Amino acid sequence: MLDGRGAIKRRAGARLWLSALWLGFVALCAIFAPLISPQDPLAQDLMLGRLPPAWMAGSEPGFWLGTDSLGRDVLSRMIFGARVALTVALLAGVVTCLVGSALGLVAGFYRGWADRIVGRLVDIWMAFPPVLFAILLIAVLGTGLTSVIIAIVVIDWTRFCRVVRAETLNQSQMDYVQSARIAGFTRLRTLLSEILPNVLPTMVALLTLEMGIAVIVEAILSFVNLSISTDAPTWGGMIAEGRLAIHQAWWVLVFPLVALFLTVLSFAQLGDGLRERFDPVLR
């Protein structure tokens, strides 16, 4: 039994570190994009259109992952696209976590009219299909990175609210909460100093998951030209372009698709690993 648990812990630790390494690599690419990018991601040269990757016949030096139909370097566009993806993931994830978790904590701890109001808001929001709701918001707000972040926050705060509310309700029944009340703690102090630290591991797991979802939503909006400008490099925009030329230049579609898949998977695995490591109940 102990050996089995040790094997499970080792596998979970390996997933955690592999996910962290990939996300760290993507973050470094995003931060140092102007320094490590081999080409200008916006430079076009129709004479170099649809060049294959460096290991295939017909490639050109300096274009390691080939070029798209306009002669733009795929690797450089992927590196700068990582900036957009991680910016949306970080800002949208953090703001969504703060808004949803705050409402969930209030609803789960104070209950009564606060819980009823928040519950009705969650029911109304969940009645709308999230992707269609995001497209509608972008159409109203206009395209741009700020609009994308606002749309993600507006449609996804309910996920944090529901889970944090349920966890807060559960923690409120624990003996340590009753002991804090007997010791004379105010309700706000009890919420912040006793309940919040025990809900925090769940919030962290949800935050990393939300970052992955934000990357997907941004890619979907880029795919339908509702994110930032069409010329700006984004993974979703590259996938949309590569889909039209899959038989002539498969690399334009495959490489950003793989990067998107690994990034989203790494966010999900990182969240599970952090929760297993820091959640006192699971430990």
Confidence of residue 60 (pLDDT cuts 50, 70, 90): confident
Query: Could you report the per-residue pLDDT of 188-206, keeping only the tens digit for each?
Result: 888 888 888 888 888 888 8
Q: Which superfamily does 2-278 belong to?
A: MetI-like (1.10.3720.10)
Full-model pTM: 0.86
Does position 94 have pLDDT exceeding 90, yes or no?
yes
pLDDT > 90: what percent of the chain?
36
Segment 275-281 shows an average pLDDT of 61
Does position 86 have pLDDT exceeding 90, yes or no?
yes
Secondary structure of the chain as H, E, C letters:
CHHHHHHHHHHHHHHHHHHHHHHHHHHHHHHCHHHHCCCCCCCCCHHHCCCCCCCCCCCCCCCCCCECCCCCEHHHHHHHHHHHHHHHHHHHHHHHHHHHHHHHHHHHHHCHHHHHHHHHHHHHHHCCCHHHHHHHHHHHHCCCHHHHHHHHHHHHHHHHHHHHHHHHHHHHCCHHHHHHHHCCCCHHHHHHHHHHHHHHHHHHHHHHHHHHHHHHHHHHHHHCCCCCCCCCCCHHHHHHHHHHCCCCCCHHHHHHHHHHHHHHHHHHHHHHHHHHHHCCCCC
The per-residue pLDDT for 277 is 67
Domain ranges, ordered by start, for the chain: 2-278
